[in-house]
Amino acid sequence: MLNKYPLWKYLLILLVIALGVIYALPNLYPDDPALQLSTQKSTSVVDQRTLATAEKALQDAGIDLKQAEVTSAGGTLRFNNGEDQLAAKPVIAAALGENYVVALNLVPTTPEWLSSIGAGPAKLGLDLRGGVHFLLEVDTPAALKQRLDVAASEMKNSMRTERIRYRSVEVNGGVMSIRFLREEDQQAALELLQDEFSEYVYNTSNDGTDYFVEIGFTEAARAEVEAYALQQNLTTLRNRVNELGVAEPLVQRQGSNRIVVELPGVQDTAAAKRIIGATANLEFRLEAGLDANAADVDTLTFRDGSGRTARLERDVIITGDSVADASSSFDENGRPQVNISLDGKGGSQMARTTRTAVGRNMAVVFIEHKSRSRFVEGEDGKLTEVRRSYSEKNIISLATIQTTLGNSFRITGLDSPRESSELALLLRAGALAAPIYFVEERTIGPSLGAENIRLGVLSAQIGLLVVMAFMLVYYKVFGLFANISLALNIVLLMACMSLLSATLTLPGIAGIVLTMGMAVDANVLIFSRIREELKAGLPSQQAIHSGFNRAFTTILDANITTLLVAVILFAVGTGPVKGFAVTLSLGILTSMFTAIVVTRAQINLVYGGRKNKRLFI
Amino acid sequence: MNIPFMAMRKVVAMISIAMVLVSLGSLAVKGLKFGLDFTGGSLIEVQYAKAPALDEVRTLLAEGDYQDVTVQNFGSPVDVVVRMGNAYTPTLGDEVLSTLRDNGSVKVELMRSEYVGGQVGEELREQGGLGMLLALAIVMVYVAVRFQFKFSVASVVALAHDVIITLGIFSLLGLEFDLTVLAAILAVIGYSLNDTIVVCDRIRENFRIMRDTTPYDLINESINQTLDRTIITSMTTLFVLVVLFFFGGESIHNFSLALLIGILIGTYSSIFVAANLLLAQNITREDLVPAPKEELEDEMP
């Protein structure tokens, strides 16, 4: 019989709709402003006692707490409103002390029965939630240079032990060049180095008086150094971001040399930027003796601005990379200091060096990699940005070695408590393998986020009303069917967003609104076909049947092409624009289901199988 | 209802060609006013508690060490956007904010601050242009496979027509072209194609069932048959876009505007341009696989 669905089809549709409603439901529960508690060290945990301390501090400060709970990631304190949350943060931070990280967060209030089946609200993008987005570029040439610098000192050592006399070693633009006075030295060195350091390419040349060996990376070695620099920086950035105590941060690789960092809900962007972009590291070096070879001595200034200088040995005992743990505190005179413990390898290296150097001075050198950018006019007259990186090395302390140093010691000479705590954080999180630059930054204030949500929801509501009113007036009863399908389309779309944990952005909401306008298209196509068939004199059941059938291929073709474009948009776009592509493509898919299947089901239910009734279309 | 669309084809073609030429001219002479996403640079958007005098804000910033500063309202008198050509430093945004606060005497709230590096901007521009071309290419292939080559030429030329005119209007009016507008243009490609396909679909169907009609009359008839649907769908979409334009907020203003313009042009082009191009290519029944299905014949009107 025409226009009759078998029972299972109705049941299937009901099931899909029921699932849609359930998975879309969590979006109706507003998020709670909350504070996320976590710990830095493995020695401390967040437990009921921690929460009790926090609760007591809040009670003393007169701030209402909604709920406190211990979670797998630490603890969560929920508040009734944003003001309480903001007021509570310093109170809690002071009460719990330095070992705990307190971060602002929004936590979903999804009821337990919903979250137990994996339902949760859609993720909000930074433009709706507020926060910072950074795009960082890893300076791979600098990483290559660093690696060559290290290789240079190793090569010098082995040439010295083999008593090969070289004049100088220079590293310039990814190539190392060793100068010799005699050709036999050059040949001996070449043989030795090629044997010992096989990951490099060697070339020889002479300029009439001197002989050179030029050393560069092989293609594979270059790629490996670059990949390592990126990987290492990713790890370090993850550690740093974790130290910042941001809830749900994102640290992700993009392309061959870029890293995306997204910190939702971060208010103090200045601190975040300082810590993420910091390239500070430490080096421990001995002061050079008076008889030291000038080529092996660096003269560095002190950091206190006094202009004093000291002559230090070029060779580094250990760097900040050997630091296992660091924390900041104050010395007996109330000046900031950093307590450092070294890892096993660093500790024994330190012990070995200081054992023979008791009575000599050891310097702690503070290194910061910086970059200057300037604009250079290229051949085509266009201005291009050229970055030059350099490092600033200053001595923060120079002290006499009293006894053999072991695994843990402290360093002083820092400017402020903020500096000591940030240095401690950087040492804990690890240094960056290569300098990084900010190539893009977007900060969205929390009030703009809230405003964007309000505007987005408002336009969605108005848009929905306008479209529904129009359909009702134009297609009467059939318009009502289309409207029900349209409403279900939005429910299904939200359910899909939640299930895929896709990110909702403001252009994403615009995409939903646009989908509303377009989703009725399929129904318009079908209904205008049905009207045509009726006009051609077909009985109503026939008209419905052929209206749906004949419109189907058109709908399919039209939607597939739009879908193709949406996919391209997803590939090309970034951030908010990707959000638009996601809602647009999901909207197209769900609207095909609702406009064709769900509308048909309603029509079948009302008109199907009856004698040709008059259609209100 | 039978409107002789094809009788107007010469006039309409002239109008279309004129619009495309003016757009191309404007794009060549005036160019597009690219937004921060594509040019690179820094901007900061703030909200004042009380509407400030923009000149005073400018004077205040002129005292600081900022280069090429422009100060504009953004959607409302209390919202202000400051753009500058300073080289990026991580603290730039905060410095500007504290300058604007003028030692705490003015209440200013940070809405957003953005920095895009010159190279990133250039890459986004390239990527965007490539995306647009890729979209057109894929559409061309799909239509060629599903329909026929002449249809594919007609629809892609119609799409290019829509995109060029939309870009032209943005160029003429000096509206800012940023990533969201690019997204809108791509969406217009999708949408306008949707319309064109519906018309083409009907033309193909009619070629199979209306044996004794000339292509000229047949195309005219097809457009008339789909006119109802074309207009209704465009209207519902335009409704929601008008809503987005007025209620969606300043940051998607140009996005909704680009969609509005694009969809208006797209509707026009799917009625006039695509069909016109089919006729210009001498489309005949033989171009489409003459494989009439039995059941279709039965349902012939």
Q: Provide the residue type at A297 as one letter.
A: V
Among chain B residues, the shortest Cα distance to A258 is held by B120
> In chain B, which residues have their Cβ closer than 8 Å to the Cβ of A516?
236, 240
Residue B85 sits in the same domain as residue B210:
no
Residue B112 sits in the same domain as residue B162:
no
A469-to-A147, A466, A484 alpha-carbon distances in Å: 68, 5, 12
pLDDT higher than threshold 80 for residue A295: no
Listed residues B90, B116, B142: the one ending a domain: B116
pLDDT band at B299 (very low <50, low <70, confident <90, very high): very low
Of A270, A442, A536, the CB nearest to B94: A270
Report DSSP letters for A541-601, one per residue: HHHHHHHHHHHHHHHHHHHHHHHHHHHHHHHH--HHHHHHHHHHHHHHHHHHIIIIIIHHH
Domains, chain A, ranges and CATH?
A: 7-26+446-607 (1.20.1640.10), 32-107 (3.30.70.260), 140-219 (3.30.1360), 281-435 (3.30.1360.200)
Among chain B residues, the shortest Cα distance to A471 is held by B236
What does the DSSP 8-state code read for residue A320? G
Pairwise CB contact (< 8 Å): A564 & B259: no
Structural tokens at position A3:
């226009």
Residue B86 sits in the same domain as residue B60:
yes
Q: What is the pLDDT of residues A165-193, one digit of tens each?
A: 888 888 887 788 999 998 888 898 898 88
pLDDT band at A144 (very low <50, low <70, confident <90, very high): confident
| A282-296, B112-126, B204-218, B243-257: least confident range | A282-296
Q: Provide the residue type at A487 as one letter.
A: A
Angle between helices B215-247 and B179-209 (to 10 degrees): 150
Of B117, B142, B143, the CB nearest to A439: B117
User: How many structural domains are present in chain B?
Assistant: 2
Residue B158 sits in the same domain as residue B262:
yes
> In chain B, which residues have their Cβ closer than 8 Å to the Cβ of A577?
179-180, 182-183
CA A616 to CA A473: how far, in whole Å? 11
Among chain A residues, the shortest Cα distance to B242 is held by A463
Pairwise CB contact (< 8 Å): A536 & B301: yes
pLDDT of res. A426: 79
Beta bridge partners of A123: A503
pLDDT of res. B238: 92
Pairwise CB contact (< 8 Å): A443 & B113: yes
Residue B73 sits in the same domain as residue B50:
yes
Mean pLDDT along residues B36-57? 88
pLDDT of res. B300: 46
Q: Are strands A281-286 and A297-302 parallel, antiparallel or unpaired?
A: unpaired
A357-to-A246, A287, A288, A409, A567 alpha-carbon distances in Å: 44, 10, 11, 16, 66
Among chain B residues, the shortest Cα distance to A465 is held by B240
pLDDT band at A373 (very low <50, low <70, confident <90, very high): low
> In chain A, which residues have their Cβ closer than 8 Å to the Cβ of B81?
none
CA dihedral A10, A12, A18, A24 (to 10 degrees): -120
Neighbours of A244 (CB within 10 A): 19
Among B74, B233, B296, pick the best mutation site for testing chain A contact (most A Cβ within 10 A). B233
pLDDT of res. A258: 92
* Mean model confidence pLDDT for chain A: 84
Pairwise CB contact (< 8 Å): A580 & B124: no
Residue B213 sits in the same domain as residue B132:
yes
pLDDT higher than threshold 70 for residue B294: no
Pairwise CB contact (< 8 Å): B241 & A458: no
Residue B108 sits in the same domain as residue B219:
no
Listed residues B73, B93, B116: the one ending a domain: B116
CATH number of the CATH domain containing B195: 1.20.1640.10
Q: What is the pLDDT of residues A30-71, one digit of tens each?
A: 888 888 887 765 556 788 888 888 888 888 888 888 888 887
Structure pTM?
0.80
Mean pLDDT along residues A82-104? 80
Residue B261 sits in the same domain as residue B144:
yes
pLDDT of res. A270: 72
Pairwise CB contact (< 8 Å): A445 & B110: yes
Q: What is the pLDDT of residues B126-180, one digit of tens each?
A: 888 888 888 889 888 988 998 889 999 999 999 999 999 999 999 999 999 988 8
Neighbours of A270 (CB within 10 A): 15
Residue B112 sits in the same domain as residue B208:
no
Of A507, A561, A572, the CB nearest to B190: A561
Q: What is the pLDDT of residues B67-108, one digit of tens each?
A: 788 898 888 889 999 988 767 777 777 788 888 887 778 888
Asked whether the beta carbons of A262 and A237 are under 8 A apart, the reply is: no
pLDDT higher than threshold 90 for residue A380: no
Residues 6+ apart with CB under 8 A from A344: none
% pLDDT > 90, chain A: 18
Pairwise CB contact (< 8 Å): B198 & A554: yes
CA A286 to CA A297: how far, in whole Å? 10
Range of the domain at B88: 41-116
Among chain B residues, the shortest Cα distance to A543 is held by B299
B171-to-B22, B27, B29, B32, B183 alpha-carbon distances in Å: 10, 6, 9, 5, 17
pLDDT of res. B192: 86
CA B31 to CA B198: how far, in whole Å? 34
Rg (CA), chain A: 34
What does the angle CA A551 – CA A556 – CA A558 come to, to the nearest 5 degrees? 95
Pairwise CB contact (< 8 Å): B127 & A572: yes
pLDDT of res. B15: 94
Pairwise CB contact (< 8 Å): A518 & B244: no
> In chain B, which residues have their Cβ closer than 8 Å to the Cβ of A517?
233, 236-241
Residue B19 sits in the same domain as residue B50:
no
> In chain A, which residues have their Cβ closer than 8 Å to the Cβ of B111?
444-445, 447-448
Mean pLDDT along residues B98-124? 84
B63 or B46, higher pLDDT = B46
CA distance A258 to chain B (A): 11
CA distance B153 to chain A (A): 15
Pairwise CB contact (< 8 Å): B251 & A574: no
CA A252 to CA A261: how far, in whole Å? 7
Pairwise CB contact (< 8 Å): A444 & B112: yes
CA A244 to CA A93: how far, in whole Å? 13
Listed residues B93, B116, B139: the one ending a domain: B116
Mean pLDDT along residues A84-100? 80
CA distance B194 to chain A (A): 4
pLDDT of res. B95: 82
Residue B167 sits in the same domain as residue B250:
yes
Chains A, B: CB pairs < 8 Å: 227
pLDDT higher than threshold 70 for residue A386: no
Q: What is the pLDDT of residues A237-257, one digit of tens each?
A: 888 888 777 777 889 998 888
List for chain B the helix, strand, coil content (%; round to 5). Answer: 70, 10, 20
Q: Among residues A264, A331, A36, A271, which one has the least CA distance to residue A128?
A: A264
CATH number of the CATH domain containing B74: 3.30.70.3400
Residue B209 sits in the same domain as residue B142:
yes
Pairwise CB contact (< 8 Å): B193 & A442: no
